[in-house]
Chain A
Amino acid sequence: MEKALIALAAALAIGLSALATAWAQSRIGSAGAGTIAEKPELTATVIIMLAIPETMVILGFVVAAMILYR
């Protein structure tokens, strides 16, 4: 039972943060597509901006790893 709860906690830590990242990236992605259509020279900046919310899922992953391997 304890193992199952640990696994669930780790899954929630990474799953919820992945959902949050996906939501943020969807917003940035659509805005970025509009930006690139108007100013193609900003492509690199948009790609970098798109990578920024990944911090959330990375932190979620760290927390999940700490839960599983503590």
Chain B
Amino acid sequence: MIVRMAKIEIAGPKELLLDVLALVQELGLFQVEPEPGGFVEAGVEAKVRPLVPDEQLVAERLFLENLGSGIAGVLAALPRSAVGTSPLDPQAALAVVAAAVGGHGAWCREQEERLAALRRERDELQRHAVIVEALDRLLAGVSPGEGVDCIGLVLREPAALERLRWLVANGTEGASELLTAVAADGTTVCLIVTVRERGARLRELLGAEQLPELELPAAFAGLPFPERIRRLRGRLAEAAAEMAAIEGALADFARTWGGAYLRAREWVENRLSLLRLTARVHETLMCFVVHGWMPAAGVPGLEGELAARFGGRVVLEEKALREQDLQRIPVALKNPPYFRPFELFSRMLPLPRYTSYDPTPFIGVFFPLFFGMILGDAGHGTVLLLASLAALRLWPGRPVVRDGARILLVSSLSAIVFGFVYGEFFGELGETLFGLRPLIVERRTAIVSMLWFSLAVGTVHVILGLFLGFLSAVRRHTGKEALFRLTTIAAILCLALLAVSLFHLFPRNLARPAVVALVALVPLLLATGGFIAPLEFLRTVGNILSYARIMAIGLASVLLASMANTLAGMTGDIVTGIIVAGLLHTVNLVLGVFSPTIQSLRLHYVEFFSKFLEHGGREFAPFKKSRTDREEESWKRH
């Protein structure tokens, strides 16, 4: 349902402005309107002008903006998981936070920069670590000595190994050994062990062949190879320890100060939003004036609070709504608990206008009905019912899953009811196992009857949409459009009468009066709807025919279920039969969830809502406090 809104003006002495705005923010029910047009009576517009902020207000705003950016800098550096809660009253602790934020900010930045540098260094060293691991394995088999030189190499292509063997053998005249290993990342690592006096010559040869010695970070240049590896490992361990120390220090800081900074930020942001809101306030010579919208049900509450806190010095007046206000009244939706989950579907549409309708209750009534009519199988419905109950139990904290499960719960109940109407339990299995017979109609055989039934449902649904469009047009005082909607309803009824007469469902002699009435309505249709009216009428007829999908998709579903049972029976073996039937029924069930959902929604969005729903509403965004407690929880989850 669209919440009824009241047009409100609050006025009082200027010195009480911030206190009044703080109360409005605390209640969180009032949306301030920046433009006074439509709120101020004709003749006094000149006396009401935008509020000019005084020096104190500007100074406070500048101070809080600086403080806010300082706090944001500190919080950005802190690990989220370590931030504790603070029992401190942020307003009382503001002076302490303001004094400390500069020093804390500088310390946090310093720690962040050091941490970033260490991470870069660690990443670079880790890139070498894989190769170092492989070289280490090779070095384990080499006996160290004064005259021994080791050269490490990485071969990009294993095919170059033979060339390398030849080079090493020639470059050292056989006084060397070539060891190879495959590193964890798949590269081939080589270690050449030779006598020290041949090492320099061999390096030259390798360089000329584009096979340079493995390069480690500059800090390790000039060291013997085993020493390089030892130092690399040592440095990696040192970097990890330094990072852990910095992270520990930041975590300690976050535990001590994080909660206080979060609270302070909440207070600063709320206060800043209040100060910024003064730009939307107007003033007269003596008073401030705030204009805006709020739910009509909340007006007595706000009035009572203003009287209690300011003793009659601040006045609230509910203004009369005018024709031109209807386009800009903000829209808030509020539905009873049964309909609330269906807002999941109505949120996919743009917000309706204030003068239009909330689509949620219509979806809440017709969606489960259409879903049940299409799926219409007690067995499938029972499985979906159990699945929805399981989802509700497993994920109660996820709003989207919870709403989806509730919708599925209602829809599966509808599918069970229609399952008994059609006499279906996993297709005709119910009839075979326990003699389940259709209560009203058997879909598999009564194809034409089901077609008529679907079209009848479509006619009723579309006529309801047109009638709501008629009411909406009456509310907007657009008489011509209202008459066009009524004429279309009459024409559709005539067409329906003609169709049922021609197909022998009604006496055939009713056809002639139906045609005469239809022809008589054509001039009225053209007069009210213009030259496009016939096209519009044809579109409406097409919309009704579209409801045949209820029967068509339902028939496909029942035939799939029937085929599953037939194939299971043809296997001739009970175990194989159960597996085959289970698989095919699972496929049918998955289709049976998606297809009715999409088709039912489509019938609403395209066929039904196009008849009456006006989009383009402005969302109701009341001025209220931001909540740090939620943010604290979100920080803890990370």
> Which residues from chain A sit less than 8 Å from chain B, CB to CB?
44-45, 47-48, 51-52, 54-55, 58-59, 61-62, 65, 69
Contact = CB atoms under 8 A, between A and B. Distances in A.
B602 A51 contact: yes
Contacts of A47: 598
Contacts of B348: 44-45, 48
Contacts of A62: 451, 545, 548, 552
B602 A61 contact: no
A54 B606 CA distance: 12
17 contacts: A45-B348, A47-B598, A48-B348, A48-B598, A48-B602, A48-B605, A48-B606, A51-B599, A52-B602, A52-B606, A54-B599, A55-B549, A58-B545, A58-B549, A58-B552, A61-B552, A62-B552
Contacts of B448: 65, 69
B144 interface: no
A38 to B, nearest CB: 17
Contacts of A52: 602, 606
A69 B503 CA distance: 11
B447 interface: yes
A30 B552 CA distance: 26
B546 interface: yes
Contacts of B542: 55, 59
Contacts of A61: 548, 552
B601 interface: yes
B407 to A, nearest CB: 13
A59 B551 CA distance: 12
A48 B447 contact: no
A58 B548 contact: yes
B520 to A, nearest CB: 28
Contact of A65 (B447, B546, B598, B601): B447
**Range of interface residues on chain B?**
10 to 19
Contacts of A58: 545-546, 548-549, 552
Interface of B: 348, 447-448, 451, 542, 545-546, 548-549, 552, 598-599, 601-602, 605-606
Q: Which residue, of B448, B542, B552, has the highest number of chain A Cβ atoms within 10 A?
A: B552
Contacts of B552: 58, 61-62
Contact of B451 (A44, A45, A51, A65): A65
Contacts of B598: 47-48, 51
Q: Which residue, of A45, A55, A69, has the highest number of chain B Cβ atoms within 10 A?
A: A55
Nearest to A43: B348
Contacts of B601: 48, 51
Contacts of A44: 348
A30 B602 CA distance: 20
A65 B503 CA distance: 14
B613 to A, nearest CB: 15
B173 to A, nearest CB: 63
B543 to A, nearest CB: 9
A48 B607 CA distance: 12
Given A62-B548, A69-B447, 18 more contacts: A45-B348, A48-B602, A51-B599, A51-B602, A55-B546, A58-B545, A58-B546, A58-B548, A58-B549, A58-B552, A59-B542, A59-B545, A61-B552, A62-B451, A62-B545, A62-B552, A65-B447, A65-B451
A62 B598 CA distance: 20
Contacts of A48: 348, 598, 601-602, 605-606
A47 B600 CA distance: 12
Nearest to A54: B549
Nearest to B597: A47
B602 A59 contact: no
Kindly list the 10 A-B residue pairs having the minimum CB-CB distance in the complex, ordered from nearest: A51-B602, A58-B549, A69-B448, A44-B348, A62-B548, A51-B598, A55-B546, A61-B552, A58-B548, A58-B552
A65 B455 CA distance: 13
Contacts of A51: 598-599, 601-602
A62 B482 CA distance: 32
B538 to A, nearest CB: 13
Contacts of A65: 447-448, 451
B458 to A, nearest CB: 11
A67 B454 CA distance: 18
Contacts of B549: 54-55, 58
Given A45-B348, A47-B598, A51-B598, A59 B548 contact: yes
Contacts of A55: 542, 545-546, 549
Contacts of B447: 65, 69
A54 B603 CA distance: 11
A50 B548 CA distance: 18
